[in-house]
Amino acid sequence: NAGVMQNPRHLVRRRGQEARLRCSPMKGHSHVYWYRQLPEEGLKFMVYLQKENIIDESGMPKERFSAEFPKEGPSILRIQQVVRGDSAAYFCASSRSRTGSWNEQFFGPGTRLTVL
Q: Which of 43, 36, 40 is nearest to 65 (CA)?
A: 36
Q: How far is CA 112 from CA 22, 33, 37, 53, 104, in A?
A: 12, 16, 10, 26, 24
The nearest distance, CB 110 to other proteins, in angstroms, is 5
Toward other proteins, which CB reaches closer, 1 or 99?
Answer: 99
The nearest distance, CB 2 to other proteins, in angstroms, is 15
* Residue 83 phi, psi dihedral angles, 5° rounding: -125, 165
Toward other proteins, which CB reaches closer, 14 or 101?
Answer: 101
* DSSP-assigned letters across all residues of 23-39: EEPPTT--EEEEEEE-T
The nearest distance, CB 26 to other proteins, in angstroms, is 12
Toward other proteins, which CB reaches closer, 43 or 83?
Answer: 43
| Binding-site ranges for other proteins (CB under 8 A) | 31, 33, 35, 41-45, 48, 56, 58-59, 91, 95, 97-110
